[in-house]
Structure 1
Amino acid sequence: MGNADITLRHIARRRPGDIARVFVPERRSVEVLGWVDSQVTKLERRLDKALRLRVGGELRVLHVEFCFALRDDVPDQVFEYLGFLFTALRAEAKGAPVPPIESVAVVLSGRRQRLPAVGARRTAWPGRRFSGTHFRIDAVYQRTVAELRARGSVFWLVFAPLARDATAAAMREVVEEIHARAATGEERLELYNALLVMAAIDPWGHHLLEELAMLFDDRETEKELLRRIPVIREMIVEAERQAAQRAEKRAEKRGEKRGEKRGEKRGEKRGEKRGEQKGAQKAIAELLGRLFVRRVGRRPTAEEERSIVERALAIGPGEVEDALLDLDVDALVRWLAEPIRRREPPKGAGRARS
């Protein structure tokens, strides 16, 4: 997962209690004892994924996987890590039983349809009773901003840009809440960093990275500190570039040009002319496209549709209409694939029709 994985593991390391409380059954007291860190897990090189807990007075272990998407190999990864984790815990137990382990996959993006609440990696033979492992699935990107806020921690607020109902207004509230609740300036910057990284994933097409970058314009000190992080600097610069491009496109659509009114009027006329031309081309594509369907029995491909419009502009819609009516199907398809010869009708076209 690259930047997202590194960022989330870093802030999770600082806020283990915020993670544990969400996945522990309600009304059970929970005490965080620390992260599992042993010589065995160092072989797997993922130390920040298992928490030692005391839940209702009993030892427990919580294993958390941050997943960009619920790919087919995620169950394999969970099962594989559990093997390393169980080996590490057993080596440390010195004859005591290994504490129960709960695995959770926190999913950041994927399909629009609801993901299941539980995943599994089956290792048993077909037809035999289940053996392997089950794990919980927490699809944070399918939750609402309110649901994430209800988890009661600024840690879960960084996932707000992933929420299905995330908006620019909601992001303003989230930034204000992080600013108010972060314990230190360093922690606040880390949470802003994570917020921007999550916005870059953008599973719903909200385009909130640009909005968040602009929010930091009002916080110049924090923005400059964020810019010192190479990845975040690139995100902010890219968001600003996209914002400028969108503003330019909006201005072009409205026919607005900077400068004197005369320039603006010329821009408006050019915009109107372009709009009329596009409208005419669309009408040609629709009318001649329907004629193509009647003759060939299928819709034209994108290339064929482009060729129809270009030929209509080059030699006139009437000539193209003649070709569509007069040429046999194979000749018509070949003609549309040939280079355009201006003012030259296709062979066989233009014959009198009864």
Structure 2
Amino acid sequence: MGQYDIALRHIALRCGDELARGLRLSFPVEAVSWVETQLTALERRIDRVLELRGGGQRRLVQLEFIVAPESDLARRMFEYAVLLVLSLWTAAEPGRGDGAVPPVESVAVLLSGRAAPWPLEGQFRTNWPESERFCGQRFRIEPVYQRTVAELMARPGVFWLVFTPLAVDASEGSIRQVVEEIRRREPRDEQRAELYAVMQVLAELAPWGHTWHKEIRMRVEELDQQSILASETLREVFEQGIEQGIEKGIEKGRRRGIEEMLRGVLARRLRRELSAAEQAAVANRASTLDDPLAAAAVFELDTEALLAWLSGPDAE
């Protein structure tokens, strides 16, 4: 799904707590972070995995952003969930037992698709159909393109506002309302600019036949010039188009994601915070890697070898 996938994962990384609260999970969330699954080493990609902590418990939310759900949606969600659990087992320390892998809730966020309403959940059954017991996976379905602008705006924070160009009742007036609301909720210029850029990217999907490209640009230029001045990415989007405009933002987000993954894995392995020198070494190494190479190193190297690889002479 290309640019949609990358843009949404980038914004989701910044807004994990808002994302979790917007899903109305029946779990007392006290802390939210992201989990790196190392699945690129298996040539698979899970969009994002949220780690929730609350009430002394730890749980995960597996998120899949899906542009055009097909008849194999349930099978795909099942496959991703199985790969996630396998990767968590692989990364867990030996001897920790079943508690090493927390329970997982899977959510399919649908960006476009059929007009008919979706059920609240889907399922992939693996046992015999006549059996009274269900064996397999159930997952939540979140068709954001079938939500109204008001429903998306009622969710906390700014994350869910990026989907408003897809809403079933999106209009020129509602686009203005959303831009004003983003200005109210997000005081930082550059962060607002990233949200507008993602809205522009998603508007390409046009699930109800209207892209709202011009309306988003006009309203941002009219209401929030400061964010345009603050963001090279947004200026590129407006001046050269979406493809060229998000290229720099995508590259920055990808490098930042690799660095955060390496830093997080190393800190967990060492069971302490990284020193300034170690953080600098991770940043240097991340600038030279692509996703498969970074994941392969984490997947294959033990703690001492990983630290040496990150800090070695060729990391400069």
* TM-score category, normalised to shorter length: 0.5 to 0.7
- Structure 1: give runs of 5+ residues left out of the alignment: 238-354
Q: 1:107-166, CA deviations, whole angstroms, 9 ceiling, x for partnerless residues?
A: 011111111111111222343443211100001111111110111221101111111111
| 3-state DSSP of counterpart to 1:109 | coil
| 3-state DSSP of counterpart to 2:102 | coil
Q: 1:82-115, CA deviations, whole angstroms, 9 ceiling, x for partnerless residues?
A: 1121123234162143311100001011111111
Indicate how the Cα distance of structure 1 residues 127 and 60 shifts in structure 2: closer, same or farther if over 3 A, else same: same
**Which piece of structure 1 moves more, 222-231 or 69-78?**
222-231
8 Å CA contact 2:63–2:108 kept in 1: the answer is yes
Query: Among 95, 98, 102, which residue is 2:97 paired with?
Result: 95
Q: 1:277-301, CA deviations, whole angstroms, 9 ceiling, x for partnerless residues?
A: xxxxxxxxxxxxxxxxxxxxxxxxx
1:69 shift after superposition: 2.4
* Partner Cα separation in structure 2 for residue 192 and residue 50 of structure 1: 24
Q: 1:50-88, CA deviations, whole angstroms, 9 ceiling, x for partnerless residues?
A: 111124332111111111122123222211111121123
- Give, as a single letter, the amino acid of the residue that structure 2 aligns with 1:124: N
| TM-score computed with the length of structure 2 as normaliser | 0.67
**Which piece of structure 1 moves more, 149-158 or 223-232?**
223-232
- Structure 2: give runs of 5+ residues left out of the alignment: 245-316
8 Å CA contact 1:213–1:236 kept in 2: the answer is no
* Partner Cα separation in structure 2 for residue 171 and residue 52 of structure 1: 32
1:221 shift after superposition: 5.7
Residue in structure 1 matched with residue 165 of structure 2 by the alignment? 161
Matched, 1:3 2:8: no
| 3-state DSSP of counterpart to 2:156 | coil
Indicate how the Cα distance of structure 1 residues 41 and 82 shifts in structure 2: closer, same or farther if over 3 A, else same: farther
Q: Which has the larger radius of gyration?
A: 1
- Structure 1 vs Structure 2 CA RMSD: 2.6
8 Å CA contact 2:68–2:110 kept in 1: the answer is yes
Residue in structure 1 matched with residue 69 of structure 2 by the alignment? 70
Query: Among 111, 117, 120, which residue is 1:117 paired with?
Result: 120
* Partner Cα separation in structure 1 for residue 43 and residue 31 of structure 2: 23
1:45 shift after superposition: 5.0
| TM-score computed with the length of structure 1 as normaliser | 0.60
Indicate how the Cα distance of structure 1 residues 59 and 44 shifts in structure 2: closer, same or farther if over 3 A, else same: farther
Indicate how the Cα distance of structure 1 residues 29 and 130 shifts in structure 2: closer, same or farther if over 3 A, else same: closer
Residue in structure 1 matched with residue 57 of structure 2 by the alignment? 58
- Give, as a single letter, the amino acid of the residue that structure 1 aligns with 2:197: N
* Partner Cα separation in structure 1 for residue 103 and residue 226 of structure 2: 46
| Structure with bigger RCO (C-alpha 8 Å, 6+ apart) | 2
Aligned positions, number: 236
